[in-house]
Every structure is written in C-alpha cells, then in structure tokens.
C-alpha cells in the first residue's frame, strides 16, 4: 500500500540531475517505455531469448505493466531526459527490485547507475535489505548489479517466459 511514507521517501530521493529525472510511471508512458524495453531485451537478452523461437512478448509485457500500474503495492517509475522522452524504467514492490532497464542508446552513459541509485532512495528507510532476480545468462546486468554492491544469494528459479531460463537472486544491504 502506498502512503505518506512512500511519498516522503520519493521526495527525499532527490531523483533529478541536469540530464535525467525520475518520476512515477503513468499509462501514457507505456508506448514509449515498451519500445525501449523491447529494443533493450532484443539486444541485451539475445543469449537468453532466441528472438526467432521466442520473440519479445509485447502484448504480455504491456498487460503486465497495465496490471502493475493498478497494483498499489508496486511503485513503478520512468526516467526521462530533460526535454522529455522515456529513457528507462524501474519498479519495486516491498523489498524487491521488480523491473529495471534502460534504452540501448543510453548504455554506457551512466544512466543505469544513476537510475539504480535514484530508485534505491525511494525505498522506505526501514527496508534495508533488498533483493532482485536476474537472468543467469544476462552477463551485462549481472556485472552492473555486482559493481553496485549486489551479491548472488545462491537461490535460483525459472522464469515463466519460454524457454524458461534460469533466474538468480541477488541482494544488497542499503547503507
């Protein structure tokens, strides 16, 4: 449930830079967000999902975002450039970093680190230990999370998306 504490955490996040800003996601963001998410998944997850056999499930992902935007336990965000335009997304629920990604044209720019840090500041202060699930074969994401202090817990599960690749759990303790 969202409440005053969530709103205060977001205010304290100070999630703006000269180039980027973080704000709550709205349904109007979905077309642009989905375009960037699809492009990032096709490029970044090529070792996980063969696009010939398992193309990006656009309708499923759109439906999931629509449902999650209505779920009060999920806080979903977009990062935008100064002049507008969605460059990335992130979502959290409880102690979990649920979704995270940036458009391929921003890779290497520092945006992912900035988005990560801005998102972590939105968690309520009492949530100290955070967790996430990442595709085992997504080496780029795993390197980023490890660089940012996340460590693998050893727990594993399979995703619901064919061909059901392995997900690895990571965790970090906020300072």
Q: For the purposes of burial, counting CB atoms within 10 Å of the CB of 65, is it exposed (0-12), middle (13-18) or buried (19 or more)?
A: buried
Residue 12 pLDDT > 90: no
Condensed to tens digits (0 to 9), the pLDDT of residues 83-98 reads 889 999 999 999 999 9
Condensed to tens digits (0 to 9), the pLDDT of residues 20-68 reads 999 999 999 999 999 999 999 999 999 999 999 999 999 999 999 999 9
Q: For the purposes of burial, counting CB atoms within 10 Å of the CB of 13, is it exposed (0-12), middle (13-18) or buried (19 or more)?
A: middle
User: pTM of the predicted model, to two decimals?
Assistant: 0.88
- CA atoms lying within 13 Å on the CB side of residue 24: 14
Q: Which residues span the domain enclosing 47? A: 4-173
CATH code at position 141: 3.40.630.30
Q: How far apart are CA 172 and CA 151, in angstroms?
A: 7
Range from 17-21, 31-35, 97-101, 128-132 carrying the lowest mean pLDDT: 17-21
Residue 113 CA, chain-centre distance (Å), reads: 12
Counted domains in the chain = 1
Q: How far apart are CA 153 and CA 95, in angstroms?
A: 15
Give the strand pairing for 129-135 and 96-102: parallel
* CA max distance for the chain: 46
């Amino acid at each position: 449930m969202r409440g005053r504490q969530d709103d205060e955490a977001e205010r304290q996040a100070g999630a703006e830079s000269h180039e980027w800003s973080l704000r709550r996601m709205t349904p109007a963001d979905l077309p642009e967000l989905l375009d960037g998410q699809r492009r990032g998944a096709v490029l970044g997850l090529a070792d996980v999902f063969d696009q010939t056999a398992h193309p990006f499930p656009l309708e499923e992902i759109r439906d999931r975002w629509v449902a999650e935007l209505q779920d009060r336990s999920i806080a979903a965000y977009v990062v935008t450039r100064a002049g507008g335009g969605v460059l990335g997304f992130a979502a959290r629920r409880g102690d979990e970093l649920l979704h995270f990604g940036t458009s391929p044209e921003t890779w290497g720019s520092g945006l992912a680190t900035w988005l990560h840090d801005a998102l972590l500041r939105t968690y309520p202060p009492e949530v100290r230990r955070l967790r996430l699930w990442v595709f085992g074969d997504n080496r780029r994401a795993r390197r980023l999370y490890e660089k940012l202090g996340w460590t693998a817990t050893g727990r594993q599960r399979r995703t619901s998306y064919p061909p059901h690749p392995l997900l690895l759990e990571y965790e970090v303790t906020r300072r």
